[in-house]
Each structure stands twice: as structure tokens, then as C-alpha cells.
Structure 1
């Protein structure tokens, strides 16, 4: 059973300054946002996001192990500029070495292997501004035959604010066909921190989706809200029958783990373990080994503090919550993440690579079973938003300024 708190916290909170939700991009809006699956609408969802977590309920016991901060070094690779995009969020390779790129304003671009870029028609309307917009893109495990892709995005909602939504569609040349929203977080309202990262189970029969807590804090500990959770869903967006609380129905049936803040990275390593990284508040970025039914403690514990400086108890203060395997304070502000598996960089096989935003870096984490340690932090000079492994084994990253880079071994 998921270790949710016995009594839901009465107030809502956030761990970053509120992110404005600007007007929706309605240039291409297939379908009606009132149709399709609808998550729960909770009283107070449209209230302004607060500035601090709830008052601590435990005496602080400082974390003394797992800190991953290391000195940054110059990247030991050759870096080649491969293109330029506008305010990107995610990159994902297709089997033919073409690349899908989401731009937060609501555009999906296809970069062919020869460098030509096309815009894909049929993208859903998005709620832009702040941390919202068009977010993750992930080709289905059977993309080579089905041409199916999945998109996550901040969707404008009829009752105000926005919700994280997950759409499935078929990529037909430079158009999306058969678009269908298969899941919504609900709890429509203001706030950033959507999470929105998609990962497929190793057998390709289910998917995992990170859902951030929208800067509201307490939903991460509310089992009736799909915020601050990692969800495990069928490929059609329903609850996966093997989930810890599947028989409970509703949000509980979809929940794989809880107590998350803003999860921006989610990957399986070759041994089948699921790793997640998430942005902490002021300090306390986390790398977590995700296990079914576990609660990772946000906002009741964190190895960081509120932006106001008000303390949040460290993880050892509440040992019933799952502590991160590694954490950063000062932060690296993690973006996307991959588990490197190719032969182009043989020394890096089995490592995680994490995009660093405020740290303007690419961080390599060496993983051995359930253990992980920061091994290298490369100074990149710009905010790194996402990272991907190309079919040939090269590492590609995209920066917040839109520059697309290819990393290869130095010769």
C-alpha cells in the first residue's frame, strides 16, 4: 500500500514563485477539451498558489549521505551545432534518425536526418506561459509499424487554468492523425511544475507518466489527486492492472508512486530499474530509485528549503518516506535524462546523463544496481533542457536558447 499520510493536509502550498498561465494557443486544436477522460476536480484547485510548504510536523534531522555535488569540468567530447529551435522542451529520436522536437509555444517539429526541419500539423491547443505549453514527446515502442506517438502538454481547461494532458496520435508524414486525449490530471487551475515526462515499460506494454504537483504542495500527499505522482497506465491511458492500489479505482488505481515535486526525468536502466529525477525547491534536487507503492515525501520532507528560506525537514526526519539515492544542494536544476546504452561511448554505458538548467551543465551519474553517484559534471555554458541518445550512439542535447548539439568522442 502507498504510504500516504493518514490525514490530508488542509492547506495548499508551492515551492517556487507562481508561474503565470497565459492565453491558450488555439491555432490547431483537434477535438473538444471537454471530451475524453477527465481527472477529479478538487475544491480550491483554482485558488492562487501559495509561497511556502505547510509548517513542519517533525524536528529536522539533517541528511548526511547522498549529496552529489561535484566540481564541474570541461566536456571531454566534440560538440557540433545541429540546428536551432524556439523555446524547446523535449527531443526524441525516431528509428530513421530523424528527430522530434517540441516547442513550448505549441509547435512540434520534425528534423530529418539530413537536417531539414518540418512543422507537424494537428498539434493540440496548449496553455502557454510560465512552465506550461507543449511538453514531452515519446514515440511508441512499436512506432516503426504503428507510427504512434504520445504528447504531454498543459491543456487549457473550460473551468479555468490548465491541466496536464496526455494525447496519443499517429504521425502521418508531417501531420498528426487520429488524435485522442487518453488521460488528464484534473485539479484544473493555476501553477507550473507539470512534470509531464513519458517512459515506456521495458516490455512496451505500459507507460509511466510523471505528474508534477503544480506548485501547490499538498496534492502530492493526496491520494485522490493525480498531482505529485508517477502514474502507470495502459497504452490507452487506463490504470495498469498491476498497480499497487488498482482495486481501489480512480486516481489510486493509476498511481505507481507519490510524494513528488516536479519530476523532469524518468528512465529505465538495462537491469529494469526505474530512475527518476526531480527539481527540489531551494536546494534538494533528487535522483530517486522508483519502487511501486513508495512515497517520496514531498512536501513533508526535502533536502532543500522553501525559496523564502523557511526550513523543510530533511528526509531523515521522516524515515517512513523514501529518501533519494542522490541529491544536490546547491541545485543543478535537472531537466531531461537518459540511460546511455550505446557503443559510441563505451566508458559511459550504464550511466545516466542529466540535463542541467541553472547549472548550465550535463551531469553523468554512474549507476550500479541500486547505487548511484555523480561521476562527472560538464560545463556547457548554457541551460541544457533535454538530452537524447541517437541511433548511432551519439548524445544530443538541446539548450533553452534553442540550440541543438551533437556530442561525439574527441579524435
Structure 2
């Protein structure tokens, strides 16, 4: 029974991470930290480029188009790469592209070119997409499938920590009115040289970590017939309704996240009359709430089925968006901050629910779910056109996204034909 299953997890009869995987799990959580840092830095760059390069909000949203467009383009090739070569080479590929993109910031800054920056961001984001595509099934494989939700949410909590640090560092180096180079790109260049060197160091550390053969390619607990391959495998995969809906839910989830984050600093500056730097620090605080939400969500999932929690948090964000769009000063700004708290569990939970009961199709499924990141490329420009006139009104659009996610949570038991086994096995 589902209740017995949650009871077994609470009493640690089913370990969240097997002891032999602790070191590897620890390293993978650091990978989550890195791309969380980089992702929220993009939103600081968004505001910085509006000032330094004198571009509009809708044009600066091309940063999000480059970032999340890279996810959409890279996801499927990475899925095939991972299926052929395994998890560890996939991580190395992601780190290489990440570092290469960071170092491309040097010629972009020297040339004062927004288009060159978009190319650098695209390459860096291809690295992020590779890491994300590989890391989720990698994490899912480090233990019992019944605890995969908890593992992924815990690892994603460190993604949140990275998201907290990103705006703090970005605001200090790029938006601080007391620092030099506030109105040029020297600080951007210096910052990304440091980031590129750090990623190279991380790659060297990962080279020294041994990966057990049992998780080199796929979840050892595969429960699905895997004799089919190629087009037959993909066709069988898309017959899984819970997987198919998870792509749609992730599309709207990332769309809402990208749009909300892209104009957070603009909202603080225009609605609350904050400086850009102060808005950046509030953005960082909102990511702190996201981290707390993930830890709280991870704890609550020991008692509450993940799909139910997902539906409830989605409903809460519908209410928050309505408040934000009113522009009621601190009431609305508090609601804007709280969006990240309720957003906290959505990405990892949608991911883990979509991957359940897919067996050796998990690797390929992961790349298709990451394909949903195209939502982050589509939504910020749409919000930007509204934000050019009224930033607060732009926050009506994410309501559509949270309605779709809420429906996914409510309907999940009927979407996943193996639902009873997934949530009731001991």
C-alpha cells in the first residue's frame, strides 16, 4: 500500500542512497550546485546588458532564448550520447562545453557584442543541458526507484544553493554602484574566466572518482522490457502517458521559471523603486526560499505522495501570480518572492514522476524531458513584450503554466499505468 511504502521510507527500511554510492552522490550534488549558480547568473546578466548595451527588456530576453534554446537543441543528442557511452563520459562532455562557453565570454566582452555573448551563453548552456540530462537519471540510479523522488529533490536543493550564490556574486560584481566597471564588460569577462577555470578543476576531480559498473549506463532496477531499440523504443516510450505529460508539464514549468526570474530585477526597480543591486539581493533571498522549499518538500514527501504536493504547490503559485500582477507594493513583492518557494519542488518532481517505471528507457526519456526546456526560450520574450509597457502585468502569463502543472499532479495516478506498483511496492 502507498501508506506502507512511505512508512518504510520514514523508518529507513529503504535507504535514500546506498552507502557505496555516497561519494558519487556527493559529487553529483555539486554538479547541481554549479548549474544552479550559472542559471541565476543569466538573470543578472539580463539586467546588466540592458544597462551597458542599451537594449530593451524584450531584446535582453534573448539571453533566455539562447540559454533554454540550447537545452532544446542539445537534449536529444546528449540522450543518444549517454545511451552509447554512459553517464561518466556524459558528465565530462557537459563540463567541457560549460568551460568552453565560459571562456568564450572573453572575445564577447572584448568585442562589446551582444550577439557574441549569446553564442558564448549558448555553448555554456549546452554544457548545462548535458549535465542536467545526464545527472537526473544518474542520481535516480543510485538506489531504489521508490526513493528516487527524494534523491532528486535533495540534489536539486544544492542546485538551489547555487541559485542563491549566483545573484549575490552577480549583483556584487556587476550591479554594485560602488565598484569600477559598472558600465562596461570588464567585470563580466573576469568573472567568467574564473568560472571556466573552476569548471576545469571540477572535471579533474571527477576524473579521480570511480563509478561502479552497476550504474555506468542505466538504473539496475529496470522494470520495463528493453528488447526493442531505435524507433521502436521511442514509440514505446511515447505510449507512456505519464512520461508524455511530464514533457508538457516541464515545458510550462521552465517557461514560468524563466519568465519570473528574467524580470524579477525589473520588478524590484520599477514597482518597488529599488536599486538594481538591492533587487539582485532580494532575488538571491527568493532563491533561499526555493532551497528551503526543496528541503521541506523532500521531508514532506516521506508523508505525502509527490504528485499531490506538486498539485498543491502549483495552486499556491497561481494565487501568488495574481497578487504579483496587481503591483500592490510590498504585498505583491512578497508574493513574487514566495513564487520561488512554491516553485521549489516542481522541476525535480516533474522530472522524477516522468521517469518512473521506464527502466532502460530512462536515459532517453531524460533527454526528452529536458527538451521541455524550450519553454524557457519561448516565454521570456512573450513576457518581455508586456513588460516593456508594464512589468507587473506580465506576471499574469505564468498562471497558464501553473494550471497545466497542477493538472499533471492531479491526473498523475491515471496517467501512469504502473502507478499502484510505483507507490505501493515495499
TM-score range, shorter-chain basis? under 0.3
TM norm structure 1: 0.25
Report the TM-score when normalising by structure 2: 0.24
Q: Which of 1 and 2 has higher RCO (CA within 8 Å, sep 6+)?
A: 2
Question: Which structure has greater strand proportion?
Answer: 1
